[in-house]
Structure 1
Amino acid sequence: MKRILSLVMVVLLTFGVVSLGGCGSSKTTSDGSDTKELNFFQWTEYTPQSVLDSFKKKYGITVKMSNFSSNEEMIAKLQAGGLSQYDVVVPSNYAVKGMIAQNLIQPINKDNIPNFQNIDDSFLNRDYDPGNKYTVPYLSSPVVLAVNTKKVTKTITSYNDLLDPSFKNQIVVVDDERPIIGAALLATGHSLNDTNENDLQEAERWLKKLRPNIKVFDSDSPKTSLISGECSIGLIYNGEAALAIKSNPDIKIVWPKEGISGLTIDNLCIVKGTKHEKEAEMFINYILDPKVSKLISAEYPYTNPNKAAHSLLAKSYLDNPASNIPFDKIKSSELLNDVGASLSQFDRIWTEFKG
């Protein structure tokens, strides 16, 4: 997970050698007509294909979706020519400021997105994009603590409880440095976004104590280890936890007293220089339609910021504490933010921690 630009790429971006050309495309069919395409760069397992198909049916625009597994991967691809390949991307909040500074995304005309009004205020006007000039909240995927209560008899109330030697080789964590180092920072009494060298060293020592208890690093499907019984505790994305709970009701969500270790808001953004701005706005507005938003959460049960969709969501979603995190908890929780030049220190800690 790197966000470090090579010197060559910085020079290319600075002098405009990397094209900022249109990100969509048109193809000519056999009968000579044009078929519009919109290129969507999205997290793995985060938008159902059925939603893309229904958008095409309504507007005649084919959405081609490519996937990434980390913000760092997504940014690197945009920097390496992706500005000419994609129209809409979905960065997490802590990546947004850097993407704005690097001219990777452009302001959004919300007059063309009337469904923006469906987003709950808890997700809006956060410090990564005051006024939501560049971003439209899509879903929130905080890292939550999931525990198989049938296998774990000890009461867990704190991240520090995870250091118990009896949990050796029982924990699955997302392969994502910021929320896991964030848990260490919270456990040692610091902010998720603390960059003080001494505080990071303290968090690193905490992680070394945790390491023997971690059996699996998995960002793609961490629920699998919990459902199979391979692991009994997980620090995993809430949508994955929700699916695990659905498969095994013995799995419960624990809210550590220190707070959420990896709260993020993932956002729909328009790539800088797209030639399909109108189509991109249509697509974002479509995603925010309550009925469409319901379909997204039905398949991928992450926290949905669309308050208008909540009256349509199934009882199984609303009753699942991993999916339906109260909006007031979102509003009061600290978000993972960009740590700037200190990211290299986080990278080092993570690399050495994983071994």
Structure 2
Amino acid sequence: MRNSLRRPRLAAALAIGAVGALALTSCGGGVSDGGGGGDAAASTEYVEATSGEVNLYTWSDYYPDELVKKFKEDTGITLNVDFYDSNESLEAKLRASDGAGYDVVVPSDYMVQILANDGLLLEFDATSLPNGGNIKPEFLDVYFDEGRKYSTPYLYGTTSFAYDTDVITEELTSWKDYFNPPESAGGVGIMNDQVEVVNSALRATGGEFCTTDGAELQGAQDLLTGFKGRVGTINSDGILERLANGEQTMAMIWNGAAHRAMQDRPSLTYVYPEEGIALWQDNFTIPAGAENVDQAKTFLNWMLDPENMAVAVNFQAYASGVAGTDELMSPELAESEAIVIPDGYDLAKPVAPCNNEELTNYTKIFETFKG
């Protein structure tokens, strides 16, 4: 989910071609040059595509340029990449188009469940892909997509906050510390993500996730209202860069982005709060209205090859649910305090989605906070 690149954000859709494209060599029946729409879209059959294009809609700066080029070279398919900054932005785009406009999208765990339940994702059965056996067993029967009927795993990580110990000399150990920062923190960064923000506020105030209890909701809103004056940015983009260059000294951040920022500014530390943190999974899915279904399935299958997924793992600085990628992780990454959860810390857990009524409460709190 996550903006973890050092290079500047690409401002527009990216399409890179290469000369001498090769066909994908994984097992699986047939080849296809067509888009695979119509009847193919309703089928779980895997037909390997060898030309055409696939339109990927993903988080800002969340797919390496190297893989865009390699996919073209390996398969003959052009990969076009466009970006969004939150699960809710993705959801709104798919609802407005009835699931059309893109061939592959990258929702987080809870959003996979929401989109699938509302008929906005194609059911294709990941285990039917030639490389489907590379999905780690613990990533197969996940709460948001039992048996992986709608998704394949991409990257996973945690969401917490980081701060610069050269500037902030106090030891910060909790979400209470984050929402009540020392003066030395200056303008604090927070994500433009209502689920992460409201859940973190509920952690700090002792409320339950997805609560409908008026007092708990009010407690979270009061905390955010009091915090607003200390906020420098409400933005999920550019967090890494702002911490790495010293523009901000404290921000909510994903662990992979924190790791990369720490390479440029070693005085940064990633916090494992005493109230716990979210363990999230991002996933590749195919929208129900996708036009290039065979190309999309070919892309998902190609990304289930550990050698390809490992490029994303090492570049984005997150782990993956694809078997074989752990062994290909760089030593620097495998030893990072932001990536490796400390021994004995068992408070990094997935967070199940709220229902519509509960999400409406979250939206009201978050919009009040942003307003």
TM-score (norm 2): 0.79
- Within the alignment, does 1:75 sit opposite 2:91 as a pair? yes
In structure 1, the residue matched to 2:249 is 232
Distance 1:105 1:125 in 2: 18
Mean Cα deviation higher: 337-346 or 238-247: 337-346
Mapping for residues 31-180 of structure 1, pairs under 5 Å? 35-81=51-97, 83-162=99-178, 163-167=180-184, 169-180=186-197
Mark the CA change 1:38 to 1:330 in structure 2 (over 3 Å): closer, same or farther.
Answer: farther
Contact 2:244–2:265 (CA under 8 A) maintained in structure 1: yes
CA offsets per residue over residues 62-87 of structure 1, 9 Å max, x none?
12222212222222222223634221
Question: Offset of 1:276 from its aligned partner?
Answer: 3.6
- Within the alignment, does 1:353 sit opposite 2:369 as a pair? yes
Question: Offset of 1:45 from its aligned partner?
Answer: 0.8
Amino acid at match of 1:231: Q
**Which of the residues 221, 242, 246 maps onto 2:263?**
246
In structure 2, the residue matched to 1:296 is 312
Mark the CA change 1:76 to 1:199 in structure 2 (over 3 Å): closer, same or farther.
Answer: same
Distance 2:342 2:121 in 1: 30
Contact 1:40–1:87 (CA under 8 A) maintained in structure 2: yes
Pairwise CA RMSD of aligned residues?
2.8
Mark the CA change 1:235 to 1:275 in structure 2 (over 3 Å): closer, same or farther.
Answer: closer
In structure 2, the residue matched to 1:29 is none
In structure 2, the residue matched to 1:189 is 206
Mark the CA change 1:85 to 1:328 in structure 2 (over 3 Å): closer, same or farther.
Answer: farther
CA offsets per residue over residues 225-274 of structure 1, 9 Å max, x none?
212223222211222211111111111111001100x4321111122154
Distance 1:184 1:152 in 2: 21
Mean Cα deviation higher: 67-76 or 80-89: 80-89
Question: Offset of 1:328 from its aligned partner?
Answer: 9.8
In structure 2, the residue matched to 1:314 is 330
Q: Quick check: which one's helix share is greater?
A: 1
Distance 1:326 1:138 in 2: 23
Distance 1:321 1:193 in 2: 30
Percent of aligned positions with the same letter in both sequences?
30
**Which of the residues 321, 326, 336 maps onto 1:305?**
321
In structure 1, the residue matched to 2:357 is 341
TM-score (norm 1): 0.83
Gaps of at least 5 residues in structure 2 are 1-36, 41-49
Amino acid at match of 1:115: N
Distance 2:249 2:217 in 1: 28
Mark the CA change 1:283 to 1:326 in structure 2 (over 3 Å): closer, same or farther.
Answer: farther
Question: Offset of 1:164 from its aligned partner?
Answer: 4.2
Question: Offset of 1:349 from its aligned partner?
Answer: 1.2
SS at match of 2:286: strand
Amino acid at match of 1:309: T
Amino acid at match of 1:235: M
Distance 1:305 1:325 in 2: 16
Contact 1:96–1:128 (CA under 8 A) maintained in structure 2: yes
Distance 1:183 1:281 in 2: 36
Mark the CA change 1:133 to 1:45 in structure 2 (over 3 Å): closer, same or farther.
Answer: same
Distance 1:118 1:197 in 2: 45
Distance 1:251 1:264 in 2: 22
Distance 2:343 2:290 in 1: 33
Contact 1:211–1:353 (CA under 8 A) maintained in structure 2: yes
CA offsets per residue over residues 175-205 of structure 1, 9 Å max, x none?
2121111111011112333333321111111
